Chains A and B, each alone.
Chain A
Amino acid sequence: MFKKILIANRGEIAVRVIRACKEWGIQTVAVHSTVDKDSMHVRLADESVCIGSHQPANSYLNISAIMSAIQLTNAEAVHPGYGFLSENANFAKILEENKIKFIGPSSKLIKMMGDKIEAKKIAKKYNLPVIEGSENGVSDLKQAKEISKKIGFPILIKAAGGGGGKGMKIVHNEKDFDLSFSSAKTEALKYFGNDEVYIEKFFQNPRHIEVQILSGKNRTVHLHERDCSVQRRHQKLIEETPSPLLTNEIRKDLFEKTVNMVTKIGYEGAGTVEFIYEDGKFFFLEMNTRIQVEHPITEVVTGIDIIKEQIFIANSGDTALSQEDIKPRGHAIECRINAEDPSKNFQPSPGTIGICHLPSGFRTRVDGAIYQGCNITPYYDSMVCKLICHGRNRSEAIQRMIRSLDEFVIEGITTTIELHKKLLTHKKFLDSNFNVSWLDNEKII
C-alpha cells in the first residue's frame, strides 16, 4: 500500500480523503493557498505545504507548485478530489511521466471522456442511449440549422470542450438560431479555447440520474444510482438514493448498459455516468472521471467507503468488490450547505463562522471542514459542508434530515439550511414531483 498520499485539494473533500488515509495508516500531505493556512485539512494532515496565493490559478491549479510539493515530501500518490485538477488530463499525464500515481483513471481516459463529443460517440458505440443530435461538431450555420430542424425545437447548442453550463445555449425557435449559434461558438472559444460546438435535443422537464461505478482491471461493479434533480442553475443542491422514480426494470437496464460501457473502455477507479431521465427513458449525458460531491449517500446505503476503494484500486489495479457484495439498504439524502443567501438569488455570503454546532445522532453524517472561528473566504466554492441522513425508507430519511437541519447552527454567515427545511417539507419534494428546473422557476425563499 502507499506510504504517503498528497491531497491536491481543499475543504471538505480534502478532509474526507485525509480521514480515509489515516484509517489505513497512510501518511498525508495537505497543500494549501496562503489564505487557507488555518483550514481544517491543513490541521488534520501530517504535513502541509503552502503552494501559492489565494487565486486558484496560483495554488490549487498550479501544477508546477504541486509537483514541487510532491518532490519535497516524497509522496507516492496524489488524490485530486473533485473540481480543480481532478479532470485535468495534462496533470495526470505529468504525474504518470514522473511515476507518481494519480488516484483516478489514466490521462488517456480522462481526455477521452472530457471531450463531450467523443464521450457521446463511445456511449453510443457501447449501446447506451444518447440524446438525439449532431454526431459530430458542427461549424457550418446552414448544416447546424438543418440538423436542428430535423430534431425539432427546442434544441441545445453545447461546447465540445465544455461543462458547468458555460457555452450552452437553448434555442426555442428557428428565428433565434443564427444569433445563438454564433454566440455559443464565441463563448466556447472564450471559456474552453475551442470553438467546436454540437447540437442536441433540449429536454424540458428532465430528472438527473447517475450511476456510481468502481472499476479495476479485473472487473467493474456498480453501486446503484443517485437522483440529483434538486438543482439551482445547473448546480446540485439535494441528492438522494435510490431514485423515487425508477422502476426495477429500468434500473436493471441502466446498470447493465453502464457497467458494459465502463468495462469496455478499460476504466480504472471510481467514476460516475450521468443521465437525463424523462418519460421513463434515460439518455447518456457525460461521464465524470473522479469522485463526486454526493458520493456519501451511496456510501451510507451500501456500507462501502468509496475513497478507500479508489485508493485500493490505484494501488493494486484491481477492485476487491464483486457485484454480490453491493446490497444497498434503505434511503439516503444529502443536503449541500452553501454559504449563500437564497433570498438574494443565492448571493455568496463569505465571513467568519461564529457559533458552529453540527447535528449528530442516529444515521446522521456531516462531511465538512468548518469549525467555530473559521473564515469562509470568497475565493473558492460556496459549499461549506454536507449533511447526509440515512433512513429505512424515504420518509424516514426525510424526517431525519429535517430533525438534523433543525439542530444545525452556523452563525456569522448566511447558509442554505433554511431553504433545505422548506424544500424537504414541500409537497413537490414529498411527492417527488419536480424536475431539474424547479428552483429556477419557483421562488421557495
Chain B
Amino acid sequence: MEIDKKIIKKLIDTLENLKKSLKGEDIFDNNDPVEEEIEISKTVVKSPIVGTVYTAPEPGAKPFVSIGNKIKKGQTIMIVEAMKTMNHVPSSMDGVVKKILVEDGQPVEYDQVLIILG
C-alpha cells in the first residue's frame, strides 16, 4: 500500500510540474522530476550480491541502521548472506537514512536498493 501511495504522490507531483510548465514559459521546469531521479540514484546503497539480507548483526539485536540515523561512508548498514558467507554491506557515502526498503531475512537480488540516504 505504501508503494501505491508513493506512485500516486509522484504522479500528482509530475502533473503539477506539467501544469506549471504549461502556464509559464520556462522550459527548464520540465527537468525537475528528472533531476530528482538522478539524485535518488546517487544516494542509495545497493546489495553487492544476491542472497538473504539481515538488518541486524544477530537475531533480536539492534538493527545496524534506523530511519533518521546519521551514517558514515564505510559503515556497515546490513549483512547479505550468500552460500553461508556473511557479506557486510558498507555505506557508499555519508548521509542520513531516509528509507529502508528491505525487511530482515528477505531475499535480495544483486543491485537491489537496500536503503535511501538523504
Contact = CB atoms under 8 A, between A and B. Distances in A.
Whether A associates with B in a native complex is yes
Interface of A: 35, 54-55, 190, 339-340, 347-348, 350, 378-382
B39 to A, nearest CB: 31
A190 B82 contact: no
Nearest to A58: B105
Contacts of A54: 52, 107
B51 A378 contact: yes
A55 B83 contact: no
B85 interface: yes
B96 interface: no
B58 A378 contact: no
Contacts of A347: 49, 85
B83 A381 contact: yes
In terms of DSSP, what is the predominant structure of the interface of chain A?
loop
B105 A339 contact: no
B102 interface: no
Contacts of A348: 49, 51, 82-83, 85
B84 interface: yes
B107 A340 contact: no
A223 B57 CA distance: 43
B113 interface: no
A346 to B, nearest CB: 8
Given A54-B107, A55-B105, A190-B58, A382 B52 contact: no
Contacts of B49: 347-348, 378
B50 interface: yes
B49 to A, nearest CB: 7
A379 B81 CA distance: 7
A339 B83 contact: yes
- Band of interface residues on B: 10 to 19
Interface string B57-82: 01000000000000000000000011
B105 A378 contact: no
14 contacts: A190-B58, A339-B83, A347-B85, A350-B51, A350-B82, A350-B83, A378-B49, A378-B51, A378-B52, A378-B81, A378-B83, A379-B81, A379-B107, A382-B83
Interface string B72-112: 00000000011111000000000000000000010100000
Contacts of B84: 380-382
B51 A379 contact: yes
A339 to B, nearest CB: 7
Closest 5 CB pairs of A and B: A348-B83, A378-B82, A382-B83, A378-B51, A348-B82
Interface in B2-58: 49-52, 58
B62 to A, nearest CB: 15
A288 to B, nearest CB: 18
A202 to B, nearest CB: 25
A73 B67 CA distance: 47
A55 B52 contact: yes
Contacts of A190: 58
Residue from A340, A379, A380 with most neighbouring chain B CB atoms (10 Å): A379
A380 B83 contact: yes
Nearest to B57: A190
Residue from B52, B81, B83, B107 with most neighbouring chain A CB atoms (10 Å): B83
A382 B83 CA distance: 5
Contacts of A382: 83-84
A347 B52 CA distance: 15
A81 B105 CA distance: 25
A52 to B, nearest CB: 12
B18 to A, nearest CB: 42
Contacts of A379: 51-52, 81, 83, 107
A379 B58 CA distance: 17
A340 B85 CA distance: 11
Nearest to B58: A190
Nearest to A340: B83
A55 B51 CA distance: 10
Contacts of A35: 107
Contacts of B83: 339-340, 348, 350, 378-382
Contacts of A55: 52, 105
A41 to B, nearest CB: 18
Contacts of A339: 83
Contacts of B52: 54-55, 378-379
Nearest to B80: A378
Given A348-B49, A378-B49, A378-B83, 15 more contacts: A55-B52, A190-B58, A340-B83, A347-B49, A348-B82, A348-B85, A350-B82, A350-B83, A378-B51, A378-B81, A379-B51, A379-B52, A379-B81, A379-B83, A382-B84
